[in-house]
Amino acid sequence: MFASLALPSVDETLWPAGEDDSEDRGREDPVAISFDERPDAASSPSRSAVSTLSASVGAYQNDIESVLITHEQIQGKIEELGQRISEDYAGRDLLLVGVLKGAFVMMADLSRHVRLPLEFDFMAVSSYGAATHTSGVVRILKDLDHEIHGRDVLLVEDIIDSGLTLSYLMKNLRTRKPSSLEVCALLQKTGVQQVPLDIKYRAFEIPPVFVVGYGLDYGERFRNLPFVGTLRPEVYRDAVS
C-alpha cells in the first residue's frame, strides 16, 4: 500500500499509526509509520525539525525532504524497549551486539535504558555500498571480539530491509551456540522482506523508502541527525541501486 504513495514535503508530518497496547510480552508490536495520517501542517513536527535543522547540522537543510520519525518519538520507543529488555533478561548473561555502523546510535541510547549488567560487542557488515538498496551480498568486515557460546545475545540493528543481511548474520551467530539469540531493530521496512525473520523487539515499521538519520547514512553522511527522515531525490539520483 505504501509504494503507490508520493513522498510528502517538509510541510507534511508522518505520525505513528498507533501505540502498542498489546498484552503479549513475546514479540514487540511496533509502531507503524504511514504516509496517510497527518495533522495540520501548521503544527507539523516535520516542518519544525527541518526548518530548525541548523541547530544540529545546518549544512543538511537542503538535503532533507521530510521527517519520518521525530527525535521524541524515537526516544519514547527506545525507553519502552529498554524496559521490556530489562524485564525479559533479568538474571541472565546479556551481551548486546551492535551491527556497525548504523546501529551505534540506537545501541548507545538503548543500553542506558536497560537496567541490568551487560556487555557490548560489535560486528561490521556491508551490503549497501554506495547504493540506496541492499545488494543482498553480505561481507563481514569486523567480527566479534567475545565468545558467545552459552551467552544470551541480543543483536541490535538499525534497519531491516530485505532481511538478507540479518538472516545471514543470525545463521552465522547460531553456529557459535549462544544460549539465546534475539533481535532488536529500530526500523523494519514493509513489503520488501525476502526471507522469514522473527524480530522480538522492533520499534517502528516504515514504508519501503530510503531513510537517513539517527545512525543511518547515505554516503557516510546524515548519521548524526536526531530524527529519521527522507532525502530529496536529487541527493541520491546518481546512486547505484
Check if the beta carbon of residue 63 is closer than 8 Å to that of residue 227: no
| Listed residue (93, 90, 203) closest to 157, CA to CA | 203
Q: Are 208 and 1 in contact (CB under 8 A)?
A: no
Could you confirm whether 121 is annotated as catalytic?
Answer: no
φ/ψ of 42, rounded to 5, equals: -65, -25
Cell numbers representing residue 186 in the block: 529500530
Given the residues 11, 121, 161, 217, the one annotated as active site: 161
The one-letter amino acid code at 86 reads S
Residue entry with cell 515499521: 205
223 within 8 A of 216, measured Cβ to Cβ: yes
CA–CA distance, 132 with 117 (Å, rounded to integer)? 37
Peptide bond before 101: cis, by omega within 30 degrees of 0?
Answer: yes
Element (H, E) at 171: helix 164-174
Catalytic (active-site) positions: 161
